[in-house]
Amino acid sequence: MRIDFQTHPDQYRHWNIVIAGDVATLIMDVDENGGLFEGYELKLNSYDLGVDIELNDAIQRLRFEHPEVKVVVMRSGKDRTFCAGANIRMLAGATHAHKVNFCKFTNETRNSIEDASAHSGQKYICVIKGTAAGGGYELALATDHIILSDDGSSTVSLPELPLLAVLPGTGGLTRVTDKRKVRRDRADVFCTTEEGVRGKRAVDWRLVDETVPNSKLEDLVAERARAFADASPRAGGGKGVELTPLQREFGDGYVKYSTVTLELNREARVASVTITGPQDQPPQTLDDMVDQGAAFWPLRAARELDDAILHLRANEPEIAVLELKTQGAPDAVLAYDALLDANADHWLAGEILLYWKRVLKRIDLTSRTLVAIVEPGSCFAGTLAELVFAADRSYMLIGGLQQDNRPEASLQLNAFNFGRYPMSNDLSRLETRFLGEPQSLETVKGRINQPLNAEDADDLGLVTFAFDDIDWEDEVRIFREERASFSPDGLTGMEANLRFAGPETMETKIFGRLTAWQNWIFQRPNAVGEDGALRRYGSGRKPDFDRTRV
């Protein structure tokens, strides 16, 4: 079964969006029989990857299709539960690879909520009436403000450790301590208490922001939404941009979009993604940009690249190497960058730049060896040059190839490469690349807007290797074959360790620390063995743990 990350509100089974002026209500009302796979029911607003695919789509549409929305109120469509978290039967029966990708995508979706709040002025309020357990509370943690009903039964909890022998893998531990600043000893109590915390204690421990009786709940929600909307810097006006369905063609060894092609060599365990640069010059006015809508090249390319990366993650688990390629005119890419840069305060230009930031982060976090291939006819410039710096290695051809009339390979930098698209460590990719070499970074800054050939790029430290046509094919082939022969587990660990040098942030903790621990724990018999907690949950039988601390 191919997992598809594209959907539309007309196809939603689990979420509803209600727009009222500058306030949107995002209602979680999970269809019990709407699981992505067979063998489990999504009871109590529990979720699987399919529920999160819809949530990710809803968040994107609120940003692009509704520039007028300044506040999103997230709440449940069920009477006595907010969300019971990730579906336990799904977790117990899923492959390890699926659990890993599920946790990663869910984390990225939660991060997109925080990104909308921090950079788009679209604030999120969570209303909890009933139980918010595990991933349900983690969903609430991603919002700006949590309101808990004070009705004697509504609670928040992270019960994964005592109940399931796993961890709250979508950032729960990190957001409790780093975001909500819950004291360490109280966090220890909270994360080992099955029944959770309610009422005044939840407020005192900073697990929620306020609690209110049911009789006053709706008035308080309306008051808070109005206050957040009035304080929002979001200045989106006029019509939004409809995120129309992507143009996609699926073949046995490829996926073709309008600007992106994903080619798969499963026998060699190598895939290549090629981005085709813009064929036309950018529009002359902001109105023209908005009128182009989802067809506007930077938005179209970002959406297609995002979908291709997600498809590769979920549906091609044995691919070892992802080659990043481009083709087109560098000047055209830079012209679109210049338009976005000059109008970054316009809501649509700003959202497109933020979307590219998120797509590039998704590439950073993809568990494949990333290699940039800089050949004649490529357009690694500005935004697309970020792909070279995201790669674990980069190979650039000196000069040209015989019987190849395409322009010589070049790299071209602009201001975007120096902070527009920060990584999870809050540094640019060039800052991360030249960590400890500030002079190298300053030297590179002095070459902005200059086409750099292979020798220049090599001298400046912008590529790993530069080879002439005599060595080119052999060197690239040897790299592919060597990489495909290594242990996938070892490569994933090595690459994840090397990609995020520099300061640790909440994001790097979630992906590099918490998610790694969770994924390791998901392989241990205490969680997923025949006698483990996930297998025995709901059976009336206690799990049988290996008590060895390792």
Give pLDDT tens digits for 344-397. 999 999 999 999 999 999 999 999 999 999 999 999 999 999 999 999 999 999
With a cut of 80, say whether residue 273 has pLDDT above it: yes
Q: How sure is the predictor about 404, in pLDDT bands with cuts at 50, 70 and 90?
A: confident
Q: Report in angstroms the alpha-carbon separations of 337 from 108, 115, 259, 449.
A: 25, 21, 16, 12
Q: Which residues, other chains included, contact 148 with Cβ-Cβ below 8 Å and sequence gap of 6+?
A: 128, 154, 156, 198, 199, 202, 203, 208, 210, 211, 212
Query: pTM to 2 decimals?
Result: 0.96
Helices (H), 365-449: 386-390, 429-433, 438-445
- Tell me, yes or no, whether 402 and 273 share the same domain: yes
- Tell me, yes or no, whether 192 and 305 share the same domain: no
Number of domains in the chain: 2
With a cut of 80, say whether residue 292 has pLDDT above it: yes
Average pLDDT of the segment spanning 245-253? 96
What's the token pair of residue 247?
């143009």
CB 79 within 8 A of CB 45: no
What's the token pair of residue 208?
């929620």
With a cut of 80, say whether residue 198 has pLDDT above it: yes
- Tell me, yes or no, whether 260 and 179 share the same domain: no
- Give 371's strand partners: 323, 393
pLDDT of 514: 82
Domain ranges, residue 412: 249-498
The DSSP call for residue 509 is: I
Average confidence score pLDDT of the chain: 96
Evaluated on CA atoms 28, 33, 38, 41, the torsion sign reads positive
- Tell me, yes or no, whether 158 and 259 share the same domain: no
pLDDT of 286: 87
With a cut of 90, say whether residue 450 has pLDDT above it: yes
pLDDT of 120: 96
- Give 47's strand partners: 86
Q: How sure is the predictor about 538, in pLDDT bands with cuts at 50, 70 and 90?
A: confident
Q: Is 2 within a domain?
A: no
Average pLDDT of the segment spanning 274-290? 94
- Tell me, yes or no, whether 275 and 373 share the same domain: yes
Average pLDDT of the segment spanning 212-221? 97
CB 428 within 8 A of CB 358: no
- Tell me, yes or no, whether 227 and 253 share the same domain: no
Q: Is 53 within a domain?
A: yes
451, 471, 498: which is the final residue of a domain?
498
Q: Is 108 within a domain?
A: yes
Q: What CA–CA distance (Å, rounded) separates 323 from 263?
A: 10
pLDDT tens-digit map of 45-66: 999 999 999 999 999 999 999 9
pLDDT of 329: 97
With a cut of 80, say whether residue 237 has pLDDT above it: no
With a cut of 90, say whether residue 82 has pLDDT above it: yes
Q: What are the two backbone dihedrals, phi and then psi, of residue 83, each rounded to the nearest 5 degrees?
A: -165, 130
